Structure formats: structure tokens, C-alpha cells
Chains A and B, each alone.
Chain A
Amino acid sequence: MSPHRKTTLSILAVLALAAAAPPALAQKATLSIGLALEPPVLDPTANPAEPIRSITNGNVFEGLSWIDEDGHVQPRLATAWSVSSDGLSYSFQLRDNVRFQDGTPFDCGIVRFSYERAAAADSTNAQKPFFTPIERVDCPSPLEAVIQLKQPVGDLPYELAWPDAAMVAPKTAATNGTHPVGTGPYAFSAWRRGDSVTLVRNDDYWGAKPKIPTVTFRFISDPLAATNALQGGELDAYPSFGSRDLAARFQDGKTFVVTEGVFPIKLLLALNEARKPFDDVRVRRALAYALDRDAILQAGGSEGTVIGSHMSPSDPDYVDLSKRYPYDPERAKALLAEAGVKPGFPISITLPPIEYARKGGELIAAYLEPVGLKVTLVPVEWPQWLGQVYGQGAFDTTVIAHTEPHDLDIYTRPHYYFGYHDAAYDALYRRYAATLDPAESHRLSIALQEKLADDEPNVFLFSAKRLGIVNAKLHGLWRNQPIAAIPLADTYWTP
């Protein structure tokens, strides 16, 4: 046999051996969901990373209350609640016959333990300020939890619906990072690091049993690799898909459908008020006038809405302030001159490694140059962005998306990265946070948004749509994402 033929044969042999295995048939008892990032741990009460929430929120863990797909607060482990007239005492009626996945019964003691742990000195809970106003949790009976507050909190049931306030048991709390145990409809099964997390149906769940017994979250960050995995049948859905260009490949709607939903994303050109000249409101307004945000949105090729304050249109309190600073380069030049910013003044825009930032940064620079600023683009990696921009405030301006809902409080934080301080805003926010009256709360939220639009601490750019790629036979997956969660208990397959 000639060596040539031998080679060909050996290649064929390897291929045949591997191809001999039958292609995987569509198993309707499983579901495979694609996520861009892998969670570092699986405990949402210790780390705010979004993939932790996507996997565990409402699947493994539950809180007393819950935020539904439209952003409204619903009962979950509490069946009902009432608040005292001074707003200092909330009474929660707890659901009976609820057990953790390891059999631990759920009662008022669990509520007290969970909130005390979240507020403790060594806690790394991202929403610690939700828990520090809690004076104590009283347990008049095992199924009634009374939360006594140091100061009135208007939106406590909303805050307690966040995954940071999930119910955890004393026995398993310390190991929830690697093996989460909650009360939810799915139990943790396996974590293949770098690849996937698998959950299995919790057969003792108090509510309706999930229809799909085994679900797997797979981590594929590259949109092209994710597209291949979807087309190759290795993924059934990718609920937050990052690339509109690649999504077009699924537009025929045969095997997959492309879904559009809302989520509380706010894209900003964040400005560093701790640095000159951004401490001058005229400069901040000039930057807002200099940008044709409608044109930038179109050029970026993404669907979305121009926003005028720190609120996305998906929020019930949203007020449209997008016309506050119309595109007017002459006005921008005049304001800059008034503030003493000479033509050719150098500013830098720090860009994290996300498509919206890298693309958007170039467009923004193209609008800022004509009004007389000399723009340097500084692309950085995530660790650098988090360390220098977010951690130390070492930047001029940066393009960044804020994705948390109801986060008007970031403008009151003393050491926040963009360095906005305003006593009038702080006072307004305190009234907003303390009010119990929904109409008053709505009115104050609008006042806060208007105050921000007026001061323009950051240039508010857009809110984008949430793009999802979902197998046409899969139903029940959320299109919207009012808070980070991919609840799977209500998903099902049709033939």
C-alpha cells in the first residue's frame, strides 16, 4: 500500500469513528440556554454579577416578593403584606409548607437569618443599603414576619423582591456559592466550570411543578460561536443576544424566532464631575447639545429609544425628557466658550470592551470634534475599566450602560465614579425613598428625573431593546427583563 493511500485511509478512519455516533435527537425533556458570561459563584446575596441572577433568580432562589415580567411586585414566599401608617413596620404573611431543596423548612426564622446575614459587617451583598434600615425582624408566629425599620422605606416589598434578598438557610448559606440551595422550582445539579450549570426539577416545590425536568445554562460569550451553537442545535435559546447583525440570520423564523423585549438599560456618556471642566454644568449641557443622538442610534444599527434622563421607557415612572437638549452644535460651541473651554481642549473617552461602547465612542468623538474638542479614545479591558474608572474615578468621560432597575439612588452615593453631588437632589431622593403613597412616589420620581435632565451629570444616550433568539417550539420564556432573571418554571415545549 502506498503511503499516500495509507494517510487518506487513516484520516477517513478517524472521521468515520467519530461520525458513527448518531446525531443527538431533540430531547424535549431538556432545555439548553445560552448566556454570555459565566457566574463566578452562584450566590446572588454575595455577588451582584448578572449571570448569577440569570441562573438562580426565581429558579433556585426565591424571596418574600417577586417582580413579574411587566415589572410589578407580586407575592412569592409571602402571600400578603401590610405596612403600618408611619411606614416603620411591615408585616409579611408567610407561605405554609415551603421547604428548601435539602428539606429545611421555611419560616420566619429563615427570614430573620437571611436579612441579618445580608446586613452583617462581613457581608459583600451588593444591596446592603436595602438591609441596613432594618432594626430587627420579629416573629410573632412561625408564619408571620414583622420587619421593624429605623426609618420609613417606601418600596420595601419591591426591594425584597431583588435576588439580593433571597431566602437562604443557615445550614447551607456558607456553601451557596458553589452549591446553591433555595426554595425554588429548580434545584442545583452540576456546574462544569467554563462550560455550563445544570438545574433539575424540584419535585417537592410548593407551587406548580416545572414542565421541563432538566435545564442547562451554557456560557458562550462570542456571538458567532453562540450563533453556531444555536444553528447546530446545541442551544435552544439565547435570551439576551448581543449582536443585531448575527440575529438577522434567524429572521426567517423557521427554527428560531427573534424576540424583542424591554429591559432597564440606560446607555450613558458618563462625565467625571470631579475633574475640570466637567464640574461646570454649561460644559455638560454643551456636550449634550453637541450630540445628534437620533443619528448615532441609527448609525449604530441598534433599535432603541433616545432617553433624556436616568430612566428607561420600560419603567412605569418614565417621563420622556429626550427633547431637553436637541442637536445644536452652535449652542454647544457658545456654551463651551461661555465656560472658558478653548477650542482644541483635549478630552478622553474611555471605552470598555463592549460593542456599544467601542462603536458608540467613535461616533460620539465624530460629533465632539466639530464643536472644538480634541478627543482621544482610550479602549480598555473590563478589569482596567472597573479598577480605574469605576474604582478610582480616573477618567474624563466613558461610554457605559447601567442595567439595574430603579437606580436613581446612584446619584446620591458619596463616592460614586462620576462624582455627582447635589444637596437638592439628595433631599428630593430622601423624600422619594420614604414615601408610602404611590401617587406621591410617581410624582417625586418624575421630579428626580427632571432634576437630572436639568443638571445633566451624564449625557443620557439611549435605552436599547432586549434581543432574544428562541427555538420556535419553546414557549414561556420572558421577552422582557425588568430585573436580571431567566425564570424557567413556566417554559414548555410544543411538538
Chain B
Amino acid sequence: MSGVLLRRLGGLVGTLFASSLIVFFVLNVLPGDPAAVMLGLGARSEAVAQLHHQLGLDAPILWRYLHWIGGLLSLQLGTSFTYGIPVSQLLADRLQITVPLAGLTLFLSVAIGIPVGAAAAARRGRFSDTAIMGTAQLTKAVPDFWFGMLLILVFSLSLHWFPASGFPGWDGSPLPALRALVLPAAALALPEAASLARFMRSATLTALQQDFVRTARAKGLSRQAALWRHAAPNALIPIVTLIGVQFPLLLTGTIIIENVFGLPGLGRLVLEAINQRDLVVVQDLVVLLVAAVVIVNFAVDVLTTRLDPRLASGDGT
């Protein structure tokens, strides 16, 4: 492994540590005692004090931080205040929705964005190019939650092709579960595909002007063949970087989309846990999400060095 990557790995650990500190202390100065929130309006002060003690919230704050971090390092995520069950169990349930949702979103956005962008590059300056890019610009401008509500209106309430909300679980056949994920994935993927398409178009256009494409044309390849065999693969490097950059946006997008579609995924858990002051869950989730983003960016770095060996030896651009 090159020194560049080692440095990135060090940064990864530092970022995680800093985020754990920030999230813990910010959450703990927020107003709202978790015990009071859990017991709500019907509670008496004795009961709140009792629960406060049972949750261990009367311990010194530094001790609680060390206790939590120590648990994380030994892969103990702790117990949810709200539900009273291990956070790992809560996460396992939620990941079964959010990971397939993110996967499907990524697949859809790449499957739509890349070919559309390349196709627009091939038709540069023609009417179809303008039409494709105009549509992409419009799609990118639409907020994903609004897009989600539009999809529900058309495909759930009018056509009855997909459920309007909820998730049937993977226990039975996978088809109903996939059906429940199609609309939310589409709502997340289309704006992202639009970004990818615009980026792919300009990257392909840049590649098409390179010498090796002229060489390919000179040795007798058709315009289409030169585009797909030589220009497009070279356009992939910035695209992979872009996907890495968009990954955090995808995660924040799931928070909104899972609420629009009533999917009990990770994004909804984040929102619920913050509203419920389920501190342990929020702390764990934020650190995990930061870790996911940092690791994806690290993977993107590794992948781009593979795609372009010049980057690893340091003489690339």
C-alpha cells in the first residue's frame, strides 16, 4: 500500500475519533432529559428521576463518554434507551432496508446516468442532446421528497403498481420487499442520475478530444466504437470520484425518503432517535455513518488508483 493510502487511513481514524467527541458532547448539552422524553406528559417527577437513574444518566459525563467509547472499541454498541434492546439488534433490522435501498439507488442512478450522459455526448449539439440535458437539469432541481410524493400519487394511488408506504420484510418472498423499495429508490436515484449524466457527458466530451481517440478513429474504428471502447472508460475515473462524493448525499436523502415512504430503515431511525433523545443510538449511528462515508471515500481512492495507475506512482494529475 502506498504512503498516500496510509496517510488516508490515519485520517480516517482521526476523523472518527473527532466525530465521536463532537456528537457525544453536543448531544449531551442538548435540552431534553431522555428519561423525561421517554415517560412523556403523563409522568410524575419521581418516576422520571427513577428512570434517569436506571439509564445511568446521573454518572459524570466524562465517565459516560469513556464507557461508550470503550464499548465501541470492543464492538459493544450498548442498549437503546427507548426500546431497551441492544443497538446492534436495532441496526441489524434497519440495515436490511437501508442497504438494499442504497444499493438499488446506486444501481439505478448508474444504470440511467452513465448511458444517458454518454449518449448525450455522442449527439453533442443536436436537439436530442439539448433535450436530454434539459431534462437532467430539471430532474436535478427537483427535491427528492417532492419527487417521492409525485411517484406515490402516480404509481401507488392511481395505478396501484406499488405500495404507497411500508415494508413487508424479507421473511416471505423477496418480490413484495423489492416492490416496496422501487419507488423510494427511484425518487433518490433520478436526481442523482441527472448529476451523473451531466458529469458523464462532459467527461466523455473531454475524452473524445484526446489523441488516443483520434488514433482509434484513424485505425478505422467507427465513431460509436471509439466512444464506447476508448472514450467512455477514460471518463469513468471522475465518475467514480463523483459517486464517492455523492454517497453522503445519498445517506441524508434516505432520512427524508424513508419518512416519506414509511420505511423503517436507518434514516428513519436517526430521526426518531434524535426526537426521542435516544442518545446511545444517535451516538452510534452518527459514528457509523461517518465511518461509512470515510470508508467509501477511501475505497474510491483505492479504486481510482486501480483505474488510473498513474495516480498511485504520483505522476498523474
Q: Who on chain A is nearest to B53 by CB?
A: A122
Query: What residues make up the interface of B, taking CB atoms closer than 8 Å to A?
Result: 30-34, 36-48, 50-51, 54, 82-85, 90, 93-94, 108, 111-112, 115-116, 118-119, 122, 128, 149, 152, 156-157, 160-167, 169, 175-176, 178-179, 182, 259-262, 264-265, 268-269, 272, 275-277
A-B contact pairs, 18 of them (CB 8 A): A4-B116, A4-B128, A10-B112, A14-B108, A50-B40, A122-B50, A126-B42, A126-B44, A128-B47, A193-B83, A193-B90, A195-B262, A229-B165, A229-B166, A234-B164, A383-B275, A386-B33, A387-B36
Instruction: State which of A21, A124, A192 has its C-beta within 8 Å of the C-beta of B93.
Output: A192
Contact flags A229-259 to B (C-beta < 8 A → 1, else 0): 1011010000000000000000000000000
A234 & B166 in contact (Cβ 8 Å cutoff):
yes
The segment from A181-189, A217-225, A432-440 found at the interface with B is A217-225
Contact flags A376-391 to B (C-beta < 8 A → 1, else 0): 0000011110111011
A51 to B233, CA, bound (A): 55
A415 & B45 in contact (Cβ 8 Å cutoff):
yes
Q: Who on chain B is nearest to A6 by CB?
A: B115
Query: What residues make up the interface of A, taking CB atoms closer than 8 Å to B?
Result: 2-4, 6-7, 10-11, 14-15, 17-21, 23, 38, 40-41, 47-50, 122-126, 128-129, 177-178, 192-196, 218, 220, 222, 224-225, 228-229, 231-232, 234, 381-384, 386-388, 390-391, 400, 402-404, 413, 415
> For residue A229, which residues in chain B have a CB less than 8 angstroms away from its CB?
164-166, 262
A7 to B178, CA, bound (A): 20
Q: Who on chain B is nearest to A53 by CB?
A: B42
A228 & B39 in contact (Cβ 8 Å cutoff):
no
> For residue B82, which residues in chain A have a CB less than 8 angstroms away from its CB?
40
> For residue A228, which residues in chain B have a CB less than 8 angstroms away from its CB?
152, 156-157, 164-165
Q: Who on chain A is nearest to B122 by CB?
A: A3
Instruction: State which of B33, B261, B275 has its C-beta within 8 Å of the C-beta of A391.
Output: B33
Known: A194-B269, A387-B37. A125 touches B166 (CB 8 A): no
A387 shortest CB reach to chain B, Å: 4
A124 & B179 in contact (Cβ 8 Å cutoff):
no
A420 shortest CB reach to chain B, Å: 15
A382 & B275 in contact (Cβ 8 Å cutoff):
yes
A194 & B268 in contact (Cβ 8 Å cutoff):
yes
A383 & B30 in contact (Cβ 8 Å cutoff):
yes
A92 to B68, CA, bound (A): 49
The 6 A-B residue pairs with the shortest CB-CB distance, nearest first, are A383-B32, A194-B264, A48-B42, A232-B164, A195-B264, A228-B164
B93 shortest CB reach to chain A, Å: 6
A19 to B154, CA, bound (A): 14
Q: Who on chain A is nearest to B89 by CB?
A: A193
Known: A6-B115, A194-B264, A383-B31. A21 touches B179 (CB 8 A): yes
A129 shortest CB reach to chain B, Å: 8
A38 to B90, CA, bound (A): 14
B163 & A193 in contact (Cβ 8 Å cutoff):
no
A172 to B292, CA, bound (A): 39
B39 & A124 in contact (Cβ 8 Å cutoff):
yes
A231 to B38, CA, bound (A): 32
B197 shortest CB reach to chain A, Å: 10
Interface centre among B94, B179, B265 (most CB of A within 10 A): B179
A195 to B152, CA, bound (A): 19
Interface centre among B38, B164, B275 (most CB of A within 10 A): B164
B262 & A225 in contact (Cβ 8 Å cutoff):
yes
A383 & B37 in contact (Cβ 8 Å cutoff):
yes
> For residue A196, which residues in chain B have a CB less than 8 angstroms away from its CB?
166
Q: Who on chain A is nearest to B40 by CB?
A: A49
Known: A18-B162, A194-B272, A387-B33. A47 touches B118 (CB 8 A): no
Q: Who on chain B is nearest to A2 by CB?
A: B119
A18 shortest CB reach to chain B, Å: 4
A341 to B83, CA, bound (A): 48
Q: Who on chain B is nearest to A216 by CB?
A: B166
A50 to B31, CA, bound (A): 23
Known: A225-B260, A390-B41, A404-B42. A4 touches B161 (CB 8 A): no
B264 & A40 in contact (Cβ 8 Å cutoff):
no
A384 & B84 in contact (Cβ 8 Å cutoff):
no
A49 to B40, CA, bound (A): 6
A263 shortest CB reach to chain B, Å: 14
> For residue B265, which residues in chain A have a CB less than 8 angstroms away from its CB?
194
A345 to B137, CA, bound (A): 52
> For residue A125, which residues in chain B have a CB less than 8 angstroms away from its CB?
47
A18 & B156 in contact (Cβ 8 Å cutoff):
no
> For residue A404, which residues in chain B have a CB less than 8 angstroms away from its CB?
42
> For residue A10, which residues in chain B have a CB less than 8 angstroms away from its CB?
111-112
Q: Who on chain A is nearest to B175 by CB?
A: A21
A11 to B113, CA, bound (A): 12
Instruction: State which of A2, A38, A129, A387 has its C-beta within 8 Å of the C-beta of B272.
Output: A38
A192 & B157 in contact (Cβ 8 Å cutoff):
no
Known: A21-B179, A192-B169, A193-B90. A386 touches B40 (CB 8 A): yes
Instruction: State which of A2, A40, A390 has its C-beta within 8 Å of the C-beta of B38.
Output: A40
